[in-house]
């Protein structure tokens, strides 16, 4: 169901359109003039507006302009009994979605409405996806060490300087690279990411520089490489320390000369690419071991930027947890759960060897598996901490072959724990778990739970 505003100074046309759109199960409002339409628009926020061109006092073109000033994304369909090409062109110039002439044809009206709603849906979906992407790639925290990183990002982003981002796995090196791109003059161009560790050494050159048809087995057509695809934008070489020496030599040439040559090709291709690189390795040690080119290291390491591990910014953990709860609940269409202070305290005291990535995965696990409306320290202990790893029930959990099996085993373990804590009082346990007692009885029967002793 959509919200539709009909604006026409002829009452008969307003009534007919109102009835037609209501019959199609839409919510409809009507206005007899431009000033009234603007007032209703601000309160009603319609998805589509049908606006007559010729009206007393304020005509439709003026009303269209004011509506678009209020809402630049407004979808407005102009209707007129005296349509001319000049009027249609002017309406389009002012942002009208379409232009219909009277007498209005019902099939044509509904077709244009359907097209308008499809566009409106695409706009809203694109906005939602942009919001989700920005949320997923947002750098969260206010610790001193993180502020130092962000300060350097803000200083280096407007330049074309190459940046080498270092840090442990899961610290957010990709997020830093994306932030540099987003704040740079290249933000409206492509951000191309290459995980050098995930591509076999025999394919990395083709991936980076492209190839010509027939240059090797499986090369069935010409293909542009990542350098070409990133032309004008940013190329992010993640895990650069895992790149083969042969590929390193070609990357060095591309950085020095600004040209690339496809595998099997002879024609050099000029590219304008800002290169950002990241690694979890000590490249100076890699150079000593003969596994990384020293000249490439100095080309990449114009601006060094180190991302601290999560254990060095524990004050950010509570903010990160709340951010992940909100973003994952929205993505998975789950009801957000409250995180108790004792749960946050328990998570702040953990070491998180997998850093922010491990914390995010943990929050998702807790949202899915914790039975109550609030996540407690017991949930963290059972599903993340010592009880899952070393307790009597840990074998059941760690031996699961699939996530569904893990979820069932974790739920069974959690119910057993709560029943034990309440001396197998089903009513009290059901209250604590925030579930009907009948549901708990069904789970006890399903999991074949029997009181010990």
3-state SS string for 260-297: ECCECCCCCEECCCEEEEEECCCHHHHHHCCCCCHHHH
* Residue 340 reports pLDDT greater than 70: yes
C-beta separation of 320 from 140 below 8 A: yes
Can you read off the two tokens belonging to residue 343?
A: 């749960």
In what order do the strands lie in the sheet containing 191-195? 191-195, 234-238, 274-279, 163-166, 303-306
Tell me the torsion sign for CA atoms 171, 175, 181, 184.
negative
Cβ neighbours, 10 Å, residue 139: 16
pLDDT of residue 83: 61
pLDDT > 70 in the chain, percent: 89
Is the separation of the CB atoms in 344 and 350 below 8 Å?
Answer: no
Q: For residue 130, is pLDDT > 50?
A: no
User: Which of 62-71, 279-288, 358-367, 385-394 shows the lowest per-residue confidence on average (mean pLDDT)?
Assistant: 385-394
Measure the CA–CA gap between 157 and 186, rounded to whole angstroms.
10
* Pairing relationship of beta strands 269-270 and 259-260 according to DSSP bridges: antiparallel
**With bands split at pLDDT 50, 70 and 90, how would you rate the model's confidence at 133?**
very low
pLDDT at 400 over 60: no
Q: How confident is the model at residue 344 (pLDDT cuts 50, 70, 90)?
A: very high
pLDDT of residue 404: 60
User: Which of 195-199, 218-222, 270-274, 405-409 shows the highest mean pLDDT?
Assistant: 270-274
Q: Answer yes or no: are the C-beta atoms of 210 and 345 closer than 8 Å.
A: no
Question: Does the pLDDT of residue 368 top 70, yes or no?
Answer: yes
Look at 134-148, 319-333, 341-355 and tell me which has the smallest mean pLDDT. 134-148
- pLDDT computed for residue 351 by the predictor: 87
In the predicted structure, residue 131 carries a pLDDT above the cut 70: no
Cα torsion for 287, 290, 294, 295, to the nearest 10°?
Answer: -160
Of the listed ranges 84-93, 327-336, 405-414, the least confidently predicted one is 405-414
Summarize the confidence of residues 259-279 as an average pLDDT.
94
Residue 126 has pLDDT above 60, yes or no: no
Q: Specify whether the CB–CB gap between 443 and 408 falls below 8 A.
A: no
For residue 195, the Cα-to-chain-centroid distance in whole angstroms is: 19
| Whether pLDDT at 122 is above 80 | no
pLDDT > 90: percent of the chain: 44
For the segment 228-232, the average pLDDT, to the nearest whole number, is 95
- Model confidence at 121, pLDDT cuts 50, 70, 90, reads low
Higher pLDDT, 436 or 276: 276
- Which residue in 26, 12, 7 sits closest to 64, CA to CA? 7
Segments in 197-339 forming alpha helices (H): 201-209, 226-229, 245-257, 283-288, 294-300, 317-331
Q: How high is the pLDDT of residue 212?
A: 93
The helix, strand and coil proportions of the chain, stated in percent and rounded to the nearest 5, come to: 50, 15, 35
Closest by CA to 304, choosing from 148, 147, 137, is: 148
Q: Supply the mean pLDDT for the chain.
A: 85
Q: Please check the confidence at residue 393 and state whether its pLDDT lies above 50.
A: no
User: Measuring CA to CA, which residue among 293, 279, 198 is closest to residue 240?
Assistant: 279
Backbone phi, then psi, for 139, in 5-degree steps? -90, 115
Structure tokens at 404: 């569904």
For 198, list phi and psi in degrees, rounded to 5: -95, -5
pLDDT in tens, 149-172: 999 999 999 999 999 999 999 999
Higher pLDDT, 405 or 343: 343
Residue corresponding to tokens 């190839």 = 211
**pLDDT in the model for residue 387:** 39
pLDDT range class, residue 124, cuts 50, 70, 90: low
């Amino acid at each position: 169901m959509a919200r539709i505003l009909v604006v026409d100074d002829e009452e008969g046309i307003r009534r007919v359109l109102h009835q037609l759109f209501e019959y199609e199960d839409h919510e409809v409002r009507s206005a007899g003039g431009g000033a009234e339409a603007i007032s209703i628009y601000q309160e009603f926020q319609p998805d589509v507006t049908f606006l007559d061109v010729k009206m007393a006092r304020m005509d439709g073109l003026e009303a269209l302009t004011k509506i678009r000033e209020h809402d630049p994304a407004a979808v407005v369909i102009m209707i007129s009994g005296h349509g001319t090409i000049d009027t249609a062109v002017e309406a389009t110039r002012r942002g009208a979605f379409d232009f219909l002439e009277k007498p209005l044809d019902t099939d044509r009206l509904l077709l244009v409405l359907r097209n308008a709603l499809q566009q409106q849906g695409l706009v809203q979906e694109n906005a939602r996806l942009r919001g989700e992407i920005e949320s997923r790639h947002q750098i969260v925290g206010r610790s001193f060490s993180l502020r130092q990183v962000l300060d350097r990002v803000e200083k280096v982003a407007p330049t074309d300087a190459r940046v080498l981002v270092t840090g442990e796995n899961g610290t957010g090196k990709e997020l830093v690279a994306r932030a540099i791109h987003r704040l740079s003059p290249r933000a409206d161009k492509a951000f191309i990411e290459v995980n050098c560790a995930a591509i076999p050494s025999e394919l990395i050159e083709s991936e980076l520089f492209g190839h010509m048809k027939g240059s090797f087995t499986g090369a069935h057509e010409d293909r542009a490489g990542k350098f070409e695809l990133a032309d004008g934008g940013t190329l992010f070489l993640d895990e650069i320390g895992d790149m083969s020496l042969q590929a390193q030599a070609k990357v060095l040439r591309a950085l020095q000369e600004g040209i690339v040559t496809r595998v099997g090709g002879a024609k050099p291709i000029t590219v304008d690419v800002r290169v950002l690189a990241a690694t979890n390795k000590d490249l100076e040690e890699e150079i000593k071991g003969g596994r990384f080119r020293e000249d490439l290291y100095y080309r990449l390491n114009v601006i060094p930027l180190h991302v601290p591990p999560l254990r060095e910014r524990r004050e950010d953990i509570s903010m990160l947890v709340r951010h992940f709860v909100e973003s994952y609940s929205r993505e998975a269409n789950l009801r957000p759960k409250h995180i108790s202070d004792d749960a946050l305290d328990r998570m702040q005291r953990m070491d998180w060897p997998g850093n922010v990535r491990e914390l995010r995965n943990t929050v998702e696990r807790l949202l899915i598996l914790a039975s109550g409306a609030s996540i407690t320290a017991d949930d963290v202990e059972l599903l993340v901490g010592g009880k899952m790893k070393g307790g009597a029930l840990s074998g059941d959990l760690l031996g699961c072959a699939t996530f569904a099996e893990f979820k069932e085993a974790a739920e069974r373990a959690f119910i057993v724990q709560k029943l034990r804590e309440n001396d197998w009082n089903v009513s009290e346990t059901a209250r604590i778990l925030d579930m009907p007692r009948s549901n708990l009885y069904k789970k006890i029967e399903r999991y074949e739970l029997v009181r010990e002793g």
